[in-house]
């Protein structure tokens, strides 16, 4: 029996960056270790046909009898594309699904995704047993850690499987079968801030531990709450393979409690230093010291992802973070002083959030804008405590509808929708007022990037933090607005407007002309959806349009719960046919940057809006790759 492991399509274009799917790669390694025939279809490297057609061809041509796939709740639509493709093949296949999307809502998702078998929690031992039973034609319906669908369509859930205590048992990921050479060749310094420090980044992740004993209310740990760590010998054996075989020069160390054991960390640093790799790690702010950070930087650490979330003690306690605002401030100040980059988020909307607590965090952010901490909404992902709270409070009426909508943020607070919207309006205003742009920016086109099907640039900028001149080669930019960039000396972030890239100015001339026409007509304008207004403002600036010259009236959104909120001091309306026909009659519509721009465009047309009154800030024409 042949197993086909399918990686869902996470990206929109060939060459875009995505996180390497370690979980599925380890499952592939387990199956191969047990002697099973395994094929892999990485849909992120195949864009010749749609997902369904590619999957049907792969099943038929490779003779697959079992299709395996998985991911998180946020990947629902990408996984459903795989399910539909598998069910549309001429040959009947057994469909096995796993990952957080199953573990968070086992029965619901197994039924919705039409899985024959589903795996809860850690998949290695369970998949080994499941593959053995299926290959031998034995009964596989009683295995620990699985669900299965009966002939009548009923989903049966078996008892859970105990966690794997010794992570050294788990084989190294099957990087080879997943197109890792292409994955590494596609990487560019412009893919994300972590990669800014190399002209030719080659980054792969390695898992050092699993799970976390902390109970943060917004987190979901599909592998349980018992923290387990592999040996350092095992970890560095993997690093040896990645350096020698794949020539990596960057490493992401996946361990939520990396600094928990000081002696272990000292040994880690001693063994890491000879590799001369740039690497990133996750740390808690309550475990940071000068001695530790200096030791980590000395062996190649250049970026830390901190769990921050809020500077309000009330909210931090409600989130069960077990940290303080003072610890946040001390850790960030020390990291910046030592020259280590910072990644972190402040997330608004915990049930304990009020205007007072939110303003505490926003006020702190404005005084420390130079850290470039992200300001965003709390999302109640399935499996988390805040998700359960939303169910209890009736904020989520239909679990499947919530996931199909992409797990949107919800008002979990005691605030009314108008005051709740005020939090995000003030957060966006704070970001708009406190930009920290790089200095002396220039972007010179150096050729064409055949992997990315995009223009290649040499970007030069002076860091506003340390005044170091940085030159980044193999750089590309395809989005209108502004982006963050990391200094290669002090590793701090600054902003760069996309207007420095000549091809974007040329490509967006039609949009600029359409906006100028709207300005000249003084026609009322509505924005849609509720989205990234910061990029919208930056995009207008790049196009030479003053936001005050637009006769803005409303912001429209698919979520009726957002009606009554404000954005940019504009009332938010439900994007319903009635509102479009009545309150927005005669309006022009600007579609803000969002992943659903094409769907919104088509929706406006169906509701009777003429094409000439729609301007998309993420127009398909603007993103069409240029080929040599």
Does residue 625 carry a pLDDT above 60?
A: no
Question: How far is Cα 38 from Cα 5, in angstroms, rounded to an integer?
Answer: 7
Model pLDDT, residue 623: 35
Q: What is the dihedral of CA 257, 262, 264, 270, to 10 degrees?
A: 110
DSSP sequence for 173-220:
P--GGGTHHHHHHH--TTS-GGGGG-SS--EEEEE-EE--S---TT--
Q: Which domains does the chain have, with CATH numbers?
A: 2-157 (3.40.50.280), 187-343 (3.20.20.70), 439-502 (no CATH), 508-623 (3.40.50.720)
Distances (CA, A) of 258 to 26, 248, 269, 285, 292: 21, 21, 12, 12, 12
- pLDDT tens for residues 550-580? 899 998 988 777 777 777 678 889 999 999 9
pLDDT tier, 278 (very low <50, low <70, confident <90, very high otherwise): very high
Question: How far is Cα 122 from Cα 554, in angstroms, rounded to an integer?
Answer: 47
Model pLDDT, residue 176: 83
Question: How far is Cα 12 from Cα 200, in angstroms, rounded to an integer?
Answer: 22
Between residues 305 and 479, which one has the greater pLDDT? 305
- pLDDT tens for residues 340-358? 999 999 999 999 999 999 9
Does residue 221 carry a pLDDT above 90?
A: no
Sheet holding 439-449, edge to edge: 439-449, 454-462, 469-475
Q: Say whether pTM exceeds 0.95.
A: no
- pLDDT tens for residues 78-110? 999 999 999 998 889 999 999 999 999 999 999
pLDDT tier, 223 (very low <50, low <70, confident <90, very high otherwise): confident
Question: How far is Cα 549 from Cα 538, in angstroms, rounded to an integer?
Answer: 15
Question: How far is Cα 443 from Cα 500, in angstroms, rounded to an integer?
Answer: 6
Question: How far is Cα 426 from Cα 355, in angstroms, rounded to an integer?
Answer: 10
Model pLDDT, residue 436: 93
pLDDT tier, 532 (very low <50, low <70, confident <90, very high otherwise): low
Report the range of poorest mean pLDDT among 67-76, 388-397, 472-481, 583-592: 472-481
Do 475 and 590 form a contact (C-beta atoms < 8 A)? Answer: no
Sign of CA dihedral 210, 216, 222, 223: positive
- pLDDT tens for residues 26-60? 999 999 999 999 999 999 998 877 898 999 999 99
Partners of 526 in beta bridges: 554, 589
What percent of the chain shows pLDDT beyond 70? 96
**Cα 419 → chain centroid:** 28
Between residues 428 and 305, which one has the greater pLDDT? 305
pLDDT tier, 592 (very low <50, low <70, confident <90, very high otherwise): confident
Strands (E), 493-612: 493-497, 524-528, 551-557, 566-567, 570-574, 588-591
pLDDT tier, 481 (very low <50, low <70, confident <90, very high otherwise): confident
Model pLDDT, residue 627: 35
Does residue 621 carry a pLDDT above 60?
A: no
Do 343 and 193 form a contact (C-beta atoms < 8 A)? Answer: yes
């Amino acid at each position: 029996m042949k197993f086909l492991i399918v990686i869902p399509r996470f990206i929109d274009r060939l060459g875009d960056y995505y996180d390497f799917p370690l979980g599925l790669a380890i499952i592939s390694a387990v199956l191969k270790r047990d002697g099973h025939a395994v094929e892999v279809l990485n849909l992120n490297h195949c864009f010749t046909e749609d997902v369904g057609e590619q999957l049907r061809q792969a099943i038929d041509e490779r003779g697959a009898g079992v299709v395996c796939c998985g991911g998180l709740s946020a990947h629902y639509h990408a996984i459903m594309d795989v399910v539909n493709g598998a069910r549309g093949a001429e040959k009947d296949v057994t469909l096995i699904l796993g990952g957080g999307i199953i573990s968070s809502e086992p029965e619901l998702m197994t039924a919705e995704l039409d899985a024959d078998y589903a795996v809860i929690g850690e998949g290695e031992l369970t998949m080994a047993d499941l593959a053995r039973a299926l290959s031998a034609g034995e009964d596989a319906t009683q295995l620990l850690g699985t669900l299965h669908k009966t002939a009548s369509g009923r989903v049966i859930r078996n008892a859970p499987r105990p966690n794997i205590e010794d992570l050294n048992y788990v084989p190294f990921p099957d990087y080879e079968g997943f197109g890792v050479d292409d994955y590494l060749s596609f990487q560019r310094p412009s893919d994300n801030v972590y990669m800014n420090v190399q002209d030719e980044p080659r980054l792969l992740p390695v898992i050092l531990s699993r799970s976390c004993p902390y109970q943060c209310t917004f987190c979901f740990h599909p592998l349980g709450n018992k923290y387990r760590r592999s040996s350092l010998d095992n970890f560095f054996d993997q690093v040896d393979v990645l350096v020698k075989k794949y020539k990596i020069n960057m490493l992401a160390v996946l361990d939520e409690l990396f600094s928990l054991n000081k002696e272990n960390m000292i040994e880690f640093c001693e063994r890491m230093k000879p590799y001369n790799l740039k690497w990133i790690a996750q740390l808690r702010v309550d475990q940071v010291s000068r001695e530790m950070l200096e030791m980590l930087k000395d062996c190649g650490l250049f970026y830390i992802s901190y769990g921050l979330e809020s500077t309000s003690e009330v909210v931090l306690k409600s989130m069960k973070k077990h940290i303080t605002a003072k610890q946040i401030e001390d850790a960030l100040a020390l990291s910046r002083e030592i020259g280590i980059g910072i990644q972190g988020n402040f997330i608004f909307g915990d049930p304990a959030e009020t205007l007072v607590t939110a303003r505490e965090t926003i006020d702190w952010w404005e005084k420390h804008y130079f850290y470039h901490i992200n300001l965003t909404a709390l999302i109640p992902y399935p499996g988390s405590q805040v998700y359960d709270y939303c169910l209890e409070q009736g904020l989520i009426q239909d679990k499947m509808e919530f996931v199909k909508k992409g797990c949107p943020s919800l008002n979990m607070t005691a605030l009314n929708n108008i005051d709740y919207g005020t939090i995000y309006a003030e957060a966006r205003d704070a970001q708009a007022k406190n930009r920290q742009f790089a200095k002396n920016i220039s972007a010179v086109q150096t050729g064409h990037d055949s992997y990315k099907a995009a223009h290649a640039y040499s970007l030069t900028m002076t860091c506003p933090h340390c005044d170091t001149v940085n030159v980044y080669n193999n750089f590309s930019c395809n989005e209108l607005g502004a982006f963050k960039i990391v200094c290669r000396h002090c590793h701090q972030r600054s902003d760069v407007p996309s207007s420095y890239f000549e091809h974007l100015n040329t490509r967006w001339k039609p949009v600029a002309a359409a906006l100028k026409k709207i300005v000249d007509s003084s026609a009322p304008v509505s924005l849609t959806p509720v989205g990234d207004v910061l990029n919208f403002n930056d995009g207008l600036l790049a196009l030479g349009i003053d936001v005050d010259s637009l006769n803005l009236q409303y912001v429209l959104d698919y979520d009726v719960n957002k009606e009554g909120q404000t954005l940019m001091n504009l009332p938010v309306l439900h994007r319903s046919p009635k509102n479009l026909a009545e309150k927005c009659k005669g309006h022009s519509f600007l579609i803000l940057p969002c992943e659903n721009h094409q769907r919104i465009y088509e929706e406006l047309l169906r509701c009777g809006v003429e094409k000439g009154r729609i301007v998309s800030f993420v127009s398909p024409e603007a993103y069409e790759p240029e080929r040599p």
